[in-house]
Amino acid sequence: MLTLRCILTTQVKRLVCRPVGRISMQHRMSTSPHPVAAVCQVTATPDKEANFSACKQLVEEAKQGGACMVFLPEGFDYIGSSREETLSLSESLAGDTISRYSQLARTEDVWLSLGGFHERGHDWENDRRIYNCHIIMNDKGDIVSVYRKSHLFDVELPGRGVLLKESAFTIPGPSLLPPVQTPVGKVGLGICYDLRFPELSLALQRHGAEILTYPSAFTVATGAAHWEILLRARAIETQCFVLAAAQVGRHHEKRSSYGHALAVDPWGAVLGDCGGESTGVTLVEIDLEKVRDTRRNMPVQQHRRDTSFYRSLEQS
């Protein structure tokens, strides 16, 4: 597997991961005064064992690079080639896959964002439906938060080769969750299509989020048109860091993903981009003073009117 890494400097505002083999010891970032997050890009297939091996290697190399929290994309466990395969490979949170990631978190002493796990639903035996869930796991291997995707991707784009109906087998999550305190800051959780709904990101920001994360598997067509624009918009409007792990490349004969796992700062500048071709990881320093400075210098939230003002059109 080709491994990629971004070397961050204060002079460069946009970086693309480059093939460098394994992360070299001289480039370790563990001496940074700020915590380091690793945003990963993978190519999941229906082969769960191969997927775990690939993700495990990225987690190990992220730790070697000084990361204290590693972000994996939607479908990190697998991407099935059919509805039947997707359902048959699903597990509960108590299953083997999450158990293995729990052990990995303990072994590597890192927090994990596991975005887009195929979790068997609450009435699995009767309806054979799943949740698309985002798990935050601490460095002891304990699950500290589980967010279930709120907005399901039911989209048909004639002429662009996009036809997906997530609701055919997925249950929408019942609610948002409060941001989670992690070693890199307070993280607000979303998944992929949630990115298109600014109400979600603003709600998380109002409840204290300093970082928003959208683990994703964007299609090539929608990614090329909207991915970076949406991520930067969410960062600008909330004045948060945005970390978006991504799937890339061909998963099977029916599906490919756009890639370009991104890290964006609170001003909307892209700090790291894993490109659209290969698996890899980008390491980013999370300086929360940037959040505070941006919000102090441009106090958008203080200028926001009360809820009734924005609903006044509905009442007229």
The structural domains of the chain, ordered by start, are 35-295 (3.60.110.10)
User: Of 6, 63, 74, 108, which residue is the catalytic one?
Assistant: 74
Euclidean distance between CA atoms 245 and 113, whole angstroms? 9
Confirm whether 274 is a catalytic residue: no
292 pLDDT band, cuts 50/70/90, is very high
Mean pLDDT computed over 165-191: 95
Q: Please, what is the average pLDDT of the chain?
A: 89
Instruction: Decide if pLDDT at 60 tops 60.
Output: yes
Tell me the helix, strand and coil percentages in the chain, rounded to 5: 30, 30, 40
Instruction: Decide if pLDDT at 69 tops 70.
Output: yes
Instruction: Decide if pLDDT at 296 tops 60.
Output: yes
User: Of 63, 149, 186, 290, which residue is the catalytic one?
Assistant: 149
pTM: 0.89
Predicted confidence at residue 11, as pLDDT, reads 30
Lowest mean pLDDT among 3-7, 120-124, 199-203, 208-212: 3-7
Confirm whether 74 is a catalytic residue: yes
User: Of 192, 240, 274, 290, which residue is the catalytic one?
Assistant: 192
Predicted confidence at residue 315, as pLDDT, reads 77
Confirm whether 314 is a catalytic residue: no
Euclidean distance between CA atoms 101 and 103, whole angstroms? 5
Question: Long-range CB contacts (< 8 A, 24+ apart) of 107-111?
Answer: 108/59, 108/60, 108/63, 109/63, 109/139, 110/59, 110/62, 110/63, 110/67, 110/68, 110/69, 110/70, 110/139, 111/68, 111/69, 111/70, 111/136, 111/137, 111/138, 111/139, 111/182, 111/183, 111/184
Instruction: Decide if pLDDT at 36 tops 80.
Output: yes
